[in-house]
Structure 1
């Protein structure tokens, strides 16, 4: 039985562009907060804005490593000791890397298996399109957490990073036909 792939390269490119757009907005928020807000301990999935941002950037970087078959990929979230600016540069690079990867990755490979390692040990495998979809969903989920965390530390200069907002703002360039 042939599997039917419902997503195509244009759609995946649009999602990669959306992810980069939303990440850039989140990064602008992070550029506006002070070190106290960045490291303030907050009850959430992660203990601070810093830890949440590290997690998002780490996930983007590690999936790119898995897709590119990097032999010893490093989970940034386990080893990052840099500054906020260092993390922002890594995040920007991963975001751009995701767009470039999707642009160059052949659509006929979307159903190929991707082997990956779990952060706490063990391996898994999913089709590429599933891992890509997971990454986009994962980043969206944790950017939403950033909004809540930022509000809790008193930052209120927030704007929408919703996919519908992205479509509205880029309507002429993202029409899928």
Structure 2
């Protein structure tokens, strides 16, 4: 595991973004470790939620992370989303992709984080600093991980790991 800098009153944007990127990869891996101990059929069990299965929710997380990585890197390429029917392949892809996002964010300094980045899609367009988009993608993934845990409760998976940022900070000491 990568070393997480201890935030201080003088924490930089880079320190904050890097800490959240490390946390995001850790939380995704923790949730996947939990789910891989469960019957594979539960990943496709339908539950009322934004996306009606655990697998579809994870697919959305990874698609969104990939989209924002492309935006952050100012790559105007066709995005390869890594869609798969096999949940275990998807889980492997999420871990790889979360680590790729983390590793990219670890290269950014405060100046790069403050640079404005623009994107355009058929649905929405915008310009914000890299830091704002990074905070958005971290928050987005956290939101949907919470949904996955709730979906698990609805299909009798009641032993989900703690994965919120506060627990992470306390655990790392």
TM-score, scaled relative to structure 2: 0.85
Distance 2:36 2:104 in 1: 26
Report the Cα offset of residue 125 of structure 1: 2.0
1:158 aligned partner: 160
| Correspondences of 1:47-126 after superposition (within 5 Å) | 47-74=52-79, 76=81, 80-118=83-121, 121-126=123-128
Report the Cα offset of residue 84 of structure 1: 0.9
User: Structure 2: 5+ residue runs without aligned partners?
Assistant: 1-10
TM-score, scaled relative to structure 1: 0.84
Report the Cα offset of residue 106 of structure 1: 2.6
* 1:9–1:107 CA contact under 8 A, matched in 2: yes
Distance 1:108 1:140 in 2: 26
Give the paired residue count: 163
Corresponding residue SS for 2:161 = coil
Paired residue for 1:128, among 127, 130, 134?
130
2:172 aligned partner: 170
Distance 1:61 1:108 in 2: 23
Distance 1:33 1:73, change over 3 A: farther
Distance 2:108 2:92 in 1: 24
Corresponding residue SS for 2:114 = coil
Distance 1:130 1:35 in 2: 36
* 2:65–2:137 CA contact under 8 A, matched in 1: yes
Runs of 4+ with deviation above 6 angstroms: none
2:50 aligned partner: 45
| Correspondences of 1:9-48 after superposition (within 5 Å) | 9-48=14-53
1:145 aligned partner: 147
